[in-house]
Amino acid sequence: MKPKKNTIPGFQFAGFHCGIKDDIRKKDIAFIYSEEPNTLVDGVFTTNKVFAAPVTVCRDVVKKGIGRLIVINSGVANACTGMKGMQDALQTQKVAAKEYALNPNEVLVCSTGKIGDTLPMSTLIKGIRRSKNEMGKNYFMDAVRGIMTTDQYPKYATATGTISGKKYTIAVLAKGAGMLCPNMATMLAYVVTDLRFDRKTLKTIFRNAVDKTLNRITVDGDTSTNDTVLILANGRAGNKTFSVTSREGKQVETQLTALLEDMARKITLDGEGATKCCRVEIKGAKNESEAKKIAYAIGNSPLVKTALFGCDPNWGRIMAAVGYSGASIVQEKLNVWIGSHQVVKNGSGVKRKSMDALNTYMKKRDMDIKVDCHMGRGEFFIFMSDLTYDYIHLNAEYHT
């Protein structure tokens, strides 16, 4: 009997090996099922104009606003697979709907893995038909592991609260390791909650939280074809609905943002071979757009990333990235900190008697870089990883 852990009222989960991956020890399919009719769904997807067939299917379901079942396979991305890929995604949706007595428009399908390969449909269909026997409210962790590809460890988090005297739960499970860049990544993330929402409030709170967290990750500058973040809210908690600006709305948005930031940090730190997660914060830019340019110039710089890996406080690389970002800057106004250590003041390096404290800080797994441009009120932040030997090895050996 599997341990009772991470149960979310009104939801069941499954995750197991069905034969998509060669290694029978690795789970390769996962399911999230809501017991409640009229479960609300919303989603945010890749901005890459080359996107996988499952993304199209999920977008269509999200437009209608109701979702009961998510089917996720790992190992094959079903991207760049033409008409066959779309037919396979729709067949997956249709078979799962029949198995669970749902309308196909209530079924979302997601894939992650190798680009260009078609799904082994006979194997996948057998997995779908087997899933009901594997399904249960206690099997959350099986689903977490079922969506992993090159992830080093499972990623999940939960939170609870009370609204209108009703207790609720929010849980998130995610995967992501490489091909991670702004506007999500090789990232699949799923939020499940028994909170009761109206559709407008759900959409606003969910997208606000995603924008401030999962949409601010960069590992390698590549934006994936399969990025998908979904939320299912089944209303089982029975709370009164609330507005975005209400005390309850702010409470839920704060919790959801914290959960997704936890996922963002874990995904960044699990960037293939990564050893660090660094929060890059830009202040005093001309406007937010300018701050964003600077943040991503730093976050995507191979030289900054390798300096982080080498635990080298090479602030010159940070300054160079700020300068070529395309943002309006005045060198003499720039101040830079690595953690609490100011390394640049008014555009010039800060001399220090000893480097010991700064060198010690550079060895931390979680770090911060701050830049103040003194040009205006623009602010933005992102999460970046370092660039390591293992990243090269993993991606050089990953099958194409």
Task: Report pLDDT for 69.
Answer: 98
Report d(CA 74, CA 166) in Å as an integer.
Answer: 36
Q: What is the mean pLDDT of residues 31-42?
A: 98
Task: Report pLDDT for 267.
Answer: 86
227 Cβ neighbours under 8 A, 6+ residues apart: 45, 46, 47, 48, 55, 183, 184, 185, 186, 187, 188
Q: Distance of CA 269 to CAs 96, 176, 280, 383, Å?
A: 34, 10, 14, 9
The single-letter code of the amino acid at 199 is: R
Q: How confident is the model at residue 10 (pLDDT cuts 50, 70, 90)?
A: very high
Task: Report pLDDT for 367.
Answer: 95
- The secondary element (H helix, E strand) that includes residue 251 is helix 247-269
The percentage of residues in the chain with a pLDDT greater than 90, rounded to a whole number, is 78
Mark 359-391 as b/e (b = at least 16 C-beta within 10 Å). Answer: eebbeeeebebbbbbebeebebbbbbbbbbeeb
The yes/no answer on whether domain 277-397 falls in CATH 3.10.20.340 is: yes
Task: Report pLDDT for 183.
Answer: 36
Task: Report pLDDT for 153.
Answer: 85
Ranked by mean pLDDT, the top range of 172-176, 182-186, 216-220 is: 172-176
Task: Report pLDDT for 396.
Answer: 65
239 DSSP 8-state letter: P
Q: How far is CA 337 from the centre of its chain?
A: 27
Q: Read off the tokens for 146.
A: 């079922």
The single-letter code of the amino acid at 314 is: N
Q: What is the mean pLDDT of residues 350-354?
A: 93
* pLDDT at residue 15 tops 50: yes
Q: How confident is the model at residue 224 (pLDDT cuts 50, 70, 90)?
A: low
* pLDDT at residue 182 tops 60: no
pLDDT tens digits for range 142-160: 999 999 887 888 999 999 9
396 Cβ neighbours under 8 A, 6+ residues apart: none
Report d(CA 9, CA 3) in Å as an integer.
Answer: 16
* pLDDT at residue 400 tops 80: no
Task: Report pLDDT for 223.
Answer: 59
Q: Which CATH number fits domain 11-269: 2.60.40.1180, 3.60.70.12, 3.40.50.720, 3.30.365.10?
A: 3.60.70.12
Report d(CA 74, CA 176) in Å as an integer.
Answer: 11
* pLDDT at residue 141 tops 80: yes
Q: What is the mean pLDDT of residues 287-311?
A: 96
Q: Where in the chain is the domain with CATH 3.60.70.12?
A: 11-269
Q: What residues form DSSP beta bridges with 383?
A: 217, 279
pLDDT averaged over every residue in the chain: 91
C-beta separation of 239 from 163 below 8 A: yes
Residue 329 or residue 394, greater confidence: 329
Task: Report pLDDT for 186.
Answer: 56
The percentage of residues in the chain with a pLDDT greater than 70, rounded to a whole number, is 92
Q: What residues form DSSP beta bridges with 30?
A: 15, 72
Residue 153 or residue 263, greater confidence: 263
Q: Exposed, middle or buried by CB within 10 Å (0-12, 13-18, 19+), for 348?
A: exposed
Q: How confident is the model at residue 388 (pLDDT cuts 50, 70, 90)?
A: confident
Q: How confident is the model at residue 119 (pLDDT cuts 50, 70, 90)?
A: very high
Mark 156-179 as b/e (b = at least 16 C-beta within 10 Å). Answer: bbbbebebeeeebbbbbbbbbbbb
Residue 73 or residue 392, greater confidence: 73
Q: How confident is the model at residue 113 (pLDDT cuts 50, 70, 90)?
A: confident
The string of DSSP codes covering 139-199 is -HHHHHHHT-SS-SS-EEEEEEEEETTEEEEEEEEEE--SSB-SS-BS-EEEEEE-----H
Given the residues 186, 213, 223, 268, select the one marked as catalytic: 186
Task: Measure the N-to-C terminal CA separation of the chain; round to a whole number of Å.
Answer: 39
Residue 186 designated active-site: yes
Q: Where in the chain is the domain with CATH 3.10.20.340?
A: 277-397
Report d(CA 362, CA 295) in Å as an integer.
Answer: 19
